[in-house]
Amino acid sequence: MSDHPNRLSELGPRPPGLPAGSLVSRPVRRRLRRARTEPLLWLSDEPVDAPASAYPAPAGFQAVLLHDQTGPADWWETEALEPARVSDPDDHHVEPVLREFWSAVIPEPEEGEEQENEELIAPFGPAWPGLAAAGSPVRDPEAAAAALAAECIREGWFGRPRLALVPARRGADVPAELGWGGPLNHENDTARISAVLRSWEDRFGARVLALGFDRLDLYVAAPPRTLVEALPVAAEHFAFCPDNVRQGSGTVRAYAEEALIGRDHWSFWWD
């Protein structure tokens, strides 16, 4: 994780403009130092009914919703958050990370299953297809992200979400700063997940809306608009979270058609 000063101890139980809350602490490893217990995040005591962006996050903090729609209740009090196991997103680059993920999720076909394997990842082959091109963002993405989060709350998509403040420079770094364990069955070092999210922030205007026990929800300001644009994005999603395809649309092409074209809500779930 990044080695910046932890300012959580400066927050009181009720920072200005925020609901009542308290600090959650964990053993945290700073570079060249042993792990020690220190505050990890500030968390509202009660569920909130508005997007995280509706609350004034102090300088140096990112606001995010933690929802209880998946996993145990109050999962943030468990080993689901372990920052001591996470490296620094600065140590990783999106291209080699996704290339390695892609190679890991492309199955070695058993005899007679070659066609099934080809259909899974068509129109791509076993070689990593490369990064998708950046999209064109909509106007006022912050307002659009807030509207999507509000809709998700109204529809119960986040359950009863809590508001969290995390000391991070950008929203993409929040999973790494928390040592979030949602993708553990796919990737143990969440800094590599944040490296991909940084790239999606830059290329597609992605914003982290909410984290669950094993789910991640993003708003996307520049989603692909055509199948040609969506296919390479679908390949990235398959590498990043193979369960989205394997337990969802079934193939990369179907996922591109059904889940990506014009969709400003990207949701990932790791089994």
By C-alpha distance, which of 147, 133, 137 is closest to 223?
137
* DSSP-derived secondary structure for 68-105: -SSSSTTGGGTTTB-GGG---GGG--HHHHHHHHHHHH
CA distance 87 to 102: 21
Check residue 72 and give its pLDDT.
86
Check residue 85 and give its pLDDT.
86
CA distance 214 to 75: 10
Q: Which residue stretches of the chain have pLDDT < 50?
A: 4
- Give the pLDDT confidence of 11-31 residue by residue, as tens digits: 877 788 899 999 998 766 655
Relative to beta strand 215-220, strand 206-211 is: antiparallel
Distances in Å between the Cα of 26 and the Cα atoms of 127, 165, 177, 239 are 40, 15, 11, 30
Contact 121, 106 (CB under 8 A): yes
